[in-house]
Amino acid sequence: MARARRGYRELLTPRSAGRPRAGPDAAALEALWQVIAQIPRGRVASYGSVARAAGLPGRARQAGYALRTAPAALKLPWHRVLGAGGRIAFPSDSRAHREQARRLRAEGVVVRNGRVPRAALTELEEL
């Protein structure tokens, strides 16, 4: 885990003139990325659950921001994070929606009408 933390910090360090990154602080992003990385294959979690597990209750949107700004080198399982009630947050006719549904199905998660069954949802505090 220490090695992963060092990697996150290196990715967060701006390369230009020591200016801090805009948006949420680096520690919050790192905490969210670590939680997302722990979601097991074949299971999903809501944005709110990710935020709570990272110690940021009530900041589901910040979990979405963390996914949107995560460096590709982290290779986070973004497809395992869903909206409230197990709903894919992307518009149903979007490429991202189709890709998320495809990845979840490849892991054995049932996706119907853009939703997954409650049984697939995991509370991250259980991990």
Per residue in 25-71, pLDDT (tens digit) is 889 999 999 999 999 999 999 999 999 999 999 999 999 999 999 99
Whole-number percent of the chain with pLDDT over 70: 80
By three-state DSSP, how is residue 75 classified?
coil
Prediction pTM value: 0.79
Among candidate residues 80, 75, 89, the one with its CA nearest the CA of residue 41: 80
H or E segment at 81? strand 81-82
What per-residue confidence (pLDDT) applies to 20?
42
CB 50 within 8 A of CB 36: yes
- The confidence score (pLDDT) of residue 123 equals 81
Give the pLDDT band (50/70/90) at residue 23.
Answer: low
Label residue 103 by pLDDT band (50, 70, 90): very high
Contact yes or no for 103/79 (Cβ under 8 A): yes
Our count of domains for the chain comes to: 1
Per-residue model confidence (pLDDT) at position 124: 80
C-alpha to C-alpha distance for 116 and 80, rounded to whole angstroms: 11
- Predicted pLDDT of residue 17: 38
- Give the structural domain span for 86: 2-126
Residue 99 neighbours by CB distance under 10 Å: 14
CA separation (Å) from 36 to 14, 75, 93?
Answer: 22, 10, 25
Say which CATH number the domain at 37 has: 1.10.10.10
pLDDT of 8 > 60? The answer is no
Strand partners, 87: 83, 115
Q: Residues near 114 by Cβ (< 8 Å), separated by ≥ 6?
A: 87, 88, 92, 97, 101
Q: What is the mean pLDDT of the chain?
A: 85
Q: Which three-class secondary structure state does DSSP give residue 117?
A: coil
| pLDDT at site 22 | 54
Dist. CA 41–CA 4, nearest whole Å: 19
